[in-house]
């Protein structure tokens, strides 16, 4: 039996959770498919005239670019974008999440500054786009080393954080302020046991901007030009990382209250079901975390 999913009573299309062949009767909606409906694609539940709005989740997702018949496949060949009046309203619905006394802690790693991490990484951060390749090579080399050695089971890996800025920018103003704040946030992230900050040496975002107030011994600053070039800094950074692996591996996970948990959410690539399954599930989990005093942060705000 073929099935489709109608997500909102206002919708004039439904989503197919399977491949539905042409001329298939869908009993729950009393419609017959005019053409094959691919997995995750949309099928029309009613006749939609050219220029009419197409609704999914009760929201306008596009305009019919031609007449669409009942049971017809709805996709880019008959759906297009267009401007329309938007009427914004605030939801007044109160969602009650069932509290569970059994879920009050998580296994966290307590750092020296008393923040709590959920992972144990070594961070390699570039201060400028010119050192992006270097930090990636270092991370790749050290991750391969960790896999081959198989000695450091408490280290989750080496993470490189690279970007395309840091040079050719004003050293004052909001742009540099946000840049600095972002680097500082990564430096102090509780999921890092140790952090290596790597610059080129002649960029606007000099490493001296980030090390003035540092008193932690788990942050190392290096410049490519100071070390004699790409190969030499890669060799030196890898040697330094190998020297701290036993220290980084010497961590224990302990029960910590959920109030210390901060969860970041970002859409890693939408598919037909992200809004049907994973997004609502993460929303529900976020409500539970917040009710226990934790935090949930939604990134990639344009997708809202």
H helix intervals, the chain: 132-149, 174-187, 208-211, 224-227, 230-249, 279-291
Q: Is residue 154 part of a domain?
A: yes
Name the band, by pLDDT with cuts 50, 70 and 90, for residue 299: confident
How would you classify the pairing of strands 121-126 and 116-117? unpaired
Q: Which of 155, 158, 157, 169 is nearest to 127 (CA)?
A: 169
**pLDDT over threshold 60, residue 304:** no
Q: For residue 162, what pLDDT band results from cuts at 50, 70 and 90?
A: very high
Residues 271-274: contacts with CB within 8 Å, 24+ apart? 271/40, 272/15, 272/39, 272/40, 272/41, 273/15, 273/17, 273/40
- Helix 132-149, helix 230-249: angle, nearest 10: 40
Provide the CA 250 distance to its chain's centre, in angstroms: 28
Domain tally, the chain: 3
Judge if 74 and 125 occupy the same domain.
no
pLDDT of residue 214: 64
Please tell me the predicted confidence (pLDDT) of residue 72.
98
**What distance in Å separates the CA atoms of residue 4 and residue 6, rounded to the nearest whole number?**
7
Instruction: Specify the pLDDT at position 24.
Output: 97
The pLDDT value given to residue 101: 58
Instruction: Tell the residue number behind the tokens 């917040």, with chain if given.
Output: 290
Angle (CA) 220 224 226, round 5° = 85
Q: Is residue 201 part of a domain?
A: yes
**In a shared domain, residues 57 and 161:** no
* Residue after which a domain boundary falls, among 217, 232, 249: 249
> Among candidates 26, 75, 132, 56, which has minimal Cα distance to 64?
75
241 and 274 housed in the same domain: no
Q: Are residues 199 and 217 in the same domain?
A: yes
Domain check: are 136 and 170 in the same one? yes
Phi, psi of 226 (to 5 degrees): -65, -30
Q: Are residues 189 and 114 part of one domain?
A: yes
CA dist., res. 271 & res. 40, Å (int): 8
CATH (domain of 111): 3.40.50
Same domain, 239 and 112: yes
Looking at the structure, tell me whether residues 236 and 113 fall in a common domain.
yes
Please indicate, yes or no, if residue 101 is contained in any of the structural domains.
no
228 lies in the same domain as 270: no
Do 197 and 73 share a domain, yes or no?
no
Q: Over the stretch 32-56, which tens digit does the pLDDT of each residue have?
A: 999 999 999 999 999 999 999 999 9
- In this structure, the answer to whether residues 237 and 289 fall within a common structural domain is no
**Whether residues 280 and 166 fall in one domain:** no
Q: Is residue 193 part of a domain?
A: yes
212 pLDDT above the threshold of 70:
no
Parent domain of 182: 107-249
Distance CA 157, CA 147 (A): 9
């Amino acid at each position: 039996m073929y099935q489709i999913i109608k997500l909102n009573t206002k919708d004039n299309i439904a989503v197919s959770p399977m491949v539905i062949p042409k001329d298939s009767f869908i009993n729950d909606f009393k419609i017959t498919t005019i053409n094959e409906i691919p997995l995750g694609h949309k099928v029309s539940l009613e006749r939609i005239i050219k220029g009419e709005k197409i609704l999914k989740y009760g929201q306008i997702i596009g305009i019919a670019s031609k007449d669409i018949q009942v049971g017809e496949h709805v996709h880019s060949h008959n759906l297009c974008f267009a401007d329309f009046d938007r009427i914004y309203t605030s939801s007044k619905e109160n969602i009650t999440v069932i509290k569970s006394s059994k879920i009050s802690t998580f296994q966290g790693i307590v750092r020296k500054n008393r923040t709590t991490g959920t992972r144990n990484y070594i961070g390699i951060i570039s201060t400028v786009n010119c050192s992006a390749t270097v930090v990636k090579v270092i991370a790749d080399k050290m991750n391969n080393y960790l896999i081959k050695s198989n000695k450091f089971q408490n280290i989750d890996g080496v993470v490189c954080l690279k970007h395309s800025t840091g040079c050719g920018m004003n050293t004052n103003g909001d742009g540099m302020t946000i840049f600095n704040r972002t680097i500082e946030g990564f430096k102090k992230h509780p999921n890092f046991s140790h952090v290596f900050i790597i610059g080129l040496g002649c960029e606007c975002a000099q490493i001296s901007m980030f090390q003035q107030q540092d008193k932690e011994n788990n942050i190392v600053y290096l410049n490519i030009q100071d070390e004699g070039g790409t190969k030499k800094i890669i060799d030196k950074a890898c040697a330094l990382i190998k020297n701290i692996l036993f220290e980084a591996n010497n961590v224990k996970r302990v029960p910590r209250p959920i109030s210390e948990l901060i969860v970041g959410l970002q859409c890693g690539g939408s598919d037909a079901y992200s809004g049907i399954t994973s997004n609502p599930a993460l929303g529900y989990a976020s409500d539970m975390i917040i009710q226990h005093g934790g935090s949930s942060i939604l990134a990639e705000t344009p997708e809202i």
